[in-house]
Structure 1
Amino acid sequence: MTTAVELSDRYANFLTHPLVPGPGVCRVCTGPAGAGYAVCRPCHETRRALGSATADAVVPISLAPKGEQYANELWRYKNAAGPQRHYFRRGLAAVLWRFLVMHERCAADRCAVARFDAVTTVPSTHERTEHPLRLIVADMVGATRDRHRDLLIPTPRAAELGRLPSGARYTASPLRGENVLLIDDTWASGNHAQSAAAALKAGGAGSVAIVVLGRHLNGGFGDTAVHVERARLRRFSWNVCPSRPWSHD
């Protein structure tokens, strides 16, 4: 049987470590931030809308520049048919599994917690009978399977909210202080994921960390292309910590 390590090895050829937060890099989502600003505009607007209910940590596994291989796979795992769909789902499941085995502890450290008690996904507000990300997290990834819980459902208002961040987008099952690892596939503005984090906290969650398969970036917008090229100066390695500029032993 092919292992998660073997399935994920090919991704090292095109995954890109996000830049470490600092000048020009958003301290929340690791996207481009304007000169002199600690966070990018979308994250600033989300914090204004949701306040302290946003996630305690956001950890993108890789950048996913528009039109490139990784962004393409993140689209095709949902929209391809037949064997191709299965191929991309297995691959992305392996990426998530390998990443969490090596770096979930990093996300927990950022939240100052010992572990995540439950794992859930950001639900789709489109008309999918079952989101493939849920299938990956609940059934395919050994690092999350036993902790997976369906904690979130969209509210009747979710569709009319569009892309706006809102505490009214989702409702969460009751929680009693459990720390939750929230998984999303693609982060553009982060409004859906942060709205989900807010719902989890309103439901009684302790700390919430968001792990994102791909931080979507449009290279034709502003200084984004320069941001991506800066990130690519560091070659991707599975051992490199997503939150710090060094590798694990």
Structure 2
Amino acid sequence: MAYASYLAPVTQSGHVMRGYKNLHISSPVHRQTVALMAALGLLGHVICAGTLTGTPVSAWATVPSLPPKPDLTTHALNDIVGKLARPAAIEVTLTAAADSTNPRDANPSHYAASANAAGRHVLVIDDTWTGGGHATSAALAVRAAGATHVSVLVLARWLSDGWEQTTQQWAKQRLSAPDFNPDVCPWTQGLCP
């Protein structure tokens, strides 16, 4: 599990992550900002995931909204990552279950992964991690589809002061550091392996 950036609801970064896929408030700047974050994470550090597991990443998948949004033909993150993915890596399609109970819980039945995950190291990319249920469910679905390795890259970690999963001490520690540093490996939180 790796996070590229930390954000909070009342910050500009929170506004951007909430707005980049919202058709009513999205601006080209929001989408460009998320695309740059994805590019830095993917192009700068995808090799790190392969180095740490001993197997190069050979496929990618983006985590769709849960529950699915019927007004979206494709998720904005999927469009962004599709343009950045290495030509040698193939897309593993994740489909969100139409009727999931407790969608924020980790449950592999929340998503179905395409069969081309089998035998591959799949990089699952999610835009935002709040409690972790969506990314974890997607990773479990990819593993159930036969992936030999699954790495997860999350563009932003959503911090809510006072929420039990984001203690004040942890939030202060993380938010006191620079918000984003492309030289810091999202997997090691330090130097690239």
The TM-score with structure 1 as length reference comes to 0.67
Distance 2:23 2:11 in 1: 16
Select the residue among 104, 121, 144 that pairs with 2:62: 121
Question: Contact conserved, 1:165 with 1:195, CA < 8 A, in 2?
Answer: yes
Could you give the per-residue CA deviations for residues 83-137 of structure 1, whole angstroms, max 9, x where no partner exists?
x522211121111112222222222233x13311011101223323211111111
Is 1:71 the counterpart of 2:14 in the alignment?
A: yes
| Preserved CA contact (<8 Å) 2:106 2:134 | yes
Match of 1:195 among 137, 159, 171: 137
- 1:237 paired residue number: 181
Alignment of 1:164 with 2:105, yes or no, is: yes
Kindly indicate whether residue 146 of structure 2 is the aligned counterpart of residue 211 of structure 1. Answer: no
Residue pair 1:157, 1:168 contacting (<8 A) in 2 also: no
Give the total of aligned pairs: 186
TM-fit CA distance, 1:239 = 1.2
Instruction: State the structure with more CA Rg.
Output: 1
Equivalent residues of 1:79, 1:85 under 8 A apart: no
With over 3 angstroms needed to count, the CA separation of the structure-2 counterparts of 1:243 and 1:210, relative to structure 1, is closer
3-state SS, counterpart of residue 20 of structure 2:
helix
Deviation at 1:169, TM superposition (A): 1.1
CA contact (8 A) 1:181 1:208 kept: yes
Q: 1:72 to 1:117 in 2, by over 3 A?
A: same
Task: Say whether the 8 Å CA contact 1:182–1:208 is kept in structure 2.
Answer: yes
CA–CA separation in structure 1 for the residues paired with 2:113 and 2:49 = 22
1:135 matched to 2:79? The reply is: yes
Question: Partner of 1:9 in structure 2?
Answer: none
Divergent runs of 4+, >4 A = none
The equivalent of 1:62 in structure 2 is 5
Contact 1:108 1:116 in 2 (8 A): yes
Q: SS in structure 1 opposite 2:125?
A: strand
CA RMSD of aligned residues (A): 2.3
The letter of the residue matching 1:155 is A
